Amino acid sequence: MNDTNTTKPQSPTRWLVALGPTHEPIDEVRFIGNRSSGRMGFEIAKAAQETGAHVRVLAGPCHLSQIDSLNDVARFQSAADLRALLTTDWPNFDVLIMAAAVADWRVAGEKLAGKLRRETPAPVLQLEPVAEILGNLQSHANQFVVGFALEPMEQMIASARRKLIAKKADCIVANSLQTLDGVESDARIVWPDGRVVSLDAQGAFAPKSVVARWIVQTISPAISQKCVH
Ligand code: CTP
C-alpha cells in the first residue's frame, strides 16, 4: 500500500477547562470572592472526558467533591494564579473552556502579611481592576476558545455578542444570573455568524449535566474543523 493513502489516526483533542471563582486576598485569612460553584465547568470537563478527549481542569476554590474524580486537575486561588497557569498550559491544548468566574477587582497593592486584627480601625479597601485574561491570551489558528458570559436575562444575547469580540472567542456560552450557584442552566451558545442556539427551543432551564453534554456535542463539529492534528 502507498504511504500517501494511509489515513493517519486522529489524536484525541486536548481540552483545558478553567472553572470556579477566584479568591482575591485581603490578608492571609480573608479574600474577596464570588458565588460561582464551578459546576458547569466541571460538567463540561466530565462530558468532554467521556468523549475520549484529554481534559485538564484548572479549578478555582470551589467545593465540588467530584472534581477529583477527573483525570487531570490543577488548582488556583486568584486571577493572577489562573493567568499564570493558562500562560503555561494553553500552548499545549486545542480547546479552552473559560468558565472561570474571574474577579473584576482585587485589593490594590501588596497582600497584607498575617491577619488584620479586630481592634485595628476598620480598613478601607482600595480596589484595582483585575486585568482581562481571556481577551489577552495568545491563541493560534488551530485553537478553539469558548468564553462565558453571566448576564441579566434581558441583556444576555447583546452582551454575549459584545464579549464574543472583546474576548476573541470562537463562541460564547451565555447564562442568565439565575444559574449562578445553581444546579440548572438556561445556556445559549452565541456564534460569530449571529446564530443563537439553546438545548430547548424556549431556552428553558435544564440540569447542568444535561446542558454540558449538549454544549460539548454542539461545539464539537466546529472544534474538529478548526483543530487540525
Ligand atoms: N474573564 C477573563 N478575565 C477577566 C474577567 C473575565 O478572562 N478579568 C473571562 C471569563 O472567564 C469569561 C468571560 O471573560 O469567560 C466573561 O466573563 P464575565 O464575568 O461574564 O464578564 P466580564 O468580562 O467580567 O465583564 P462584566 O463583569 O462587565 O460582565
Domain assignments of the chain as residue spans, ordered by start: 14-226
Q: Coil, helix or strand for 167?
A: coil
Q: Ligand 1 atom 18: the closest Cα is on which residue? A: 149
Instruction: Say how many C-beta atoms besides its own lie within 10 A of residue 162's C-beta.
Output: 13
pLDDT score recorded for residue 118? 87
Residue type, 27: D
The pLDDT, as a whole number, for residue 228 is 75
pLDDT tens digit string along 47-61? Answer: 999 999 999 999 999
Rounded-to-integer distance, Cα 23 and Cα 21, Å: 7
10-residue block means of pLDDT along the chain (229 residues)?
A: 50 94 95 96 97 97 94 97 98 98 94 84 92 97 97 95 97 93 94 96 92 98 90
pLDDT for 164-207, tens place per residue? Answer: 999 999 999 999 998 888 899 999 999 999 999 999 888 899 99
Task: Give pLDDT, residue 154.
Answer: 93
Q: What CATH number labels 14-226?
A: 3.40.50.10300
- With contact defined as beta carbons under 8 Å apart, do 101 and 36 qualify? yes
CA distance readout (Å), 92 to 14, 49, 89, 227: 8, 17, 6, 12
Buried b (16+ CB within 10 A) or exposed e, 179-195: bbeeebbbbbbbbeeee
- Give the three-class secondary structure for 41: helix
- pLDDT of res. 3: 43
The protein residue whose alpha carbon is closest to atom 4 in ligand 1 is 132
10, three cell numbers: 486522529
Using CB distances shorter than 6 Å, the residues near ligand 1 are 79, 98, 100, 102, 104, 130, 132-134, 147-150, 163, 167
Q: Which residues face 184 on adjacent strands?
A: 207
Q: How far is the CA of 165 from the centre of ligand 1 (A)?
A: 12
Residue 23 CA to ligand 1 center (angstroms) comes to 15
Of 16, 97, 98, the one to substitute when testing ligand 1's pocket (max ligand atoms within 8 A of C-beta) is 98
Mutate to test the pocket of ligand 1, among 36, 86, 134, 136 (most ligand atoms within 8 A of CB): 134
**In the chain, beta strands by DSSP E:** 14-19, 24-25, 31-32, 54-59, 73-75, 95-98, 105-107, 127-129, 144-151, 171-176, 184-185, 188-190, 196-198, 206-207
